Amino acid sequence: MIELKDVSKTFTLHNQGSAVIEVISNVSFAVAPGECVALTGASGAGKSTLMRMIYGNYLTQTGEICIDGLNIVQAKPRDIIKLRRDVLGYVSQFLRVVPRVPTLDVVAEPLRALAVPADEAQARAKALLTQLNIPERLWSLSPTTFSGGEQQRVNITRGFAHTYPAMLLDEPTASLDAANREVVLSLIEDAKARGAAIIGIFHDEAARSRVCDREIDVGRFTPGMAA
């Protein structure tokens, strides 16, 4: 489902003496449907960078990243947009939304983008928000005013609103209490069960060992960090 071949990435900082920073080199691995792979490595090893490259958020200089048959390194923007809408979900650590939009609409939006009728999308959003213990009185408010933990949960409900065949999870259980952590882990297990290919970053070792089938140490691909 997700396949990386000889993927490398450099940042060129034009405004800082054109410094070239090599962050990832020669990554190759594949994730099959129903499989969950954890990216591990020390802080700064490039886990999030690699994940952003897979999402198309960061440009990849060399290699191939194929998701559902589309090589996003070469793909046109509109193909990546379509991929993100239909196939590839991403739960980041940060919630980025239009201010003043009610939480319920924020969560329902990925479904609305797929032309799911408004009432159906809202029903799904309500179910997820309930599951993650976001009190109903907050649903009509914008999540921009919420606490960090609440924002993280809204972000997760949004990421799980549509049943994506491929998912990228960046620290989905960080800053969650035990009960919500449990809910998120069961959501991940459900996604695996229905055949989603998942790549995740988990600092929470117990969570990692529970949902992940294998681990990939990104440090191995980080120039200057490899042992």
Partner 1 sequence: MTPLLSVQGIAKRYGAHIGCADVSFDLYPGEVMGIVGESGSGKSTLLNCMAGHLVPDAGQVVFDTRTDGPRDTITMSEPERRMLGRTDWAFVHQHARDGLRMGVSAGGNVGERLMAVGERNYGDIRDKATDWLGRVEIDASRVDDRPTTFSGGMQQRLQIARNLVTGPRLVFMDEPTGGLDVSVQARLLDLLRGLVRDMGLSAIIVTHDLAVVRLLADRLMVMKSGRVVEAGLTDQVLDDPQHAYSQLLVSSVLQV
The contact set with partner 1 (CB under 8 A) reads 11-15, 52, 56-59, 77-78, 80-81, 96, 98-101, 112-113
Task: Reduce the DSSP state of residue 76 to 3 states and report it.
Answer: coil
Task: Reduce the DSSP state of residue 92 to 3 states and report it.
Answer: coil
Task: Quote the least distance from Cβ 117 to partner 1, whole Å.
Answer: 12
Q: Tokens for 102, please give them.
A: 């009610």
Q: Indicate the burial class of 78 (C-beta count within 10 angstroms; 0-12, 13-18, 19 or more).
A: exposed
Task: Quote the least distance from Cβ 101 to partner 1, whole Å.
Answer: 5
Q: How far, in Å, CA of 133 to CA of 178, rounded? A: 12
Given the complex with partner 1, which of 104 and 211 has the nearer CB atom?
A: 104
Given the complex with partner 1, which of 34 and 75 has the nearer CB atom?
A: 75
CB neighbour list of residue 3: distance below 8 Å, 6 or more residues apart: 29, 30, 31, 64, 65, 66, 67
Given the complex with partner 1, which of 96 and 193 has the nearer CB atom?
A: 96
Strand order across the beta sheet in which 2-13 lies: 19-31, 2-13, 62-67, 70-71
Task: Quote the least distance from Cβ 122 to partner 1, whole Å.
Answer: 14
Q: Which residues pair with 122 in a beta bridge?
A: none
Q: Indicate the burial class of 89 (C-beta count within 10 angstroms; 0-12, 13-18, 19 or more).
A: buried
Q: Which of 145, 129, 33, 18 is nearest to 87 (CA)?
A: 33
Task: Quote the least distance from Cβ 49 to partner 1, whole Å.
Answer: 9
Given the complex with partner 1, which of 8 and 57 has the nearer CB atom?
A: 57
Identity of the amino acid at 110: P
Task: Quote the least distance from Cβ 126 to partner 1, whole Å.
Answer: 19
Task: Quote the least distance from Cβ 52 to partner 1, whole Å.
Answer: 7
Given the complex with partner 1, which of 12 and 62 has the nearer CB atom?
A: 12
Given the complex with partner 1, which of 51 and 191 has the nearer CB atom?
A: 51
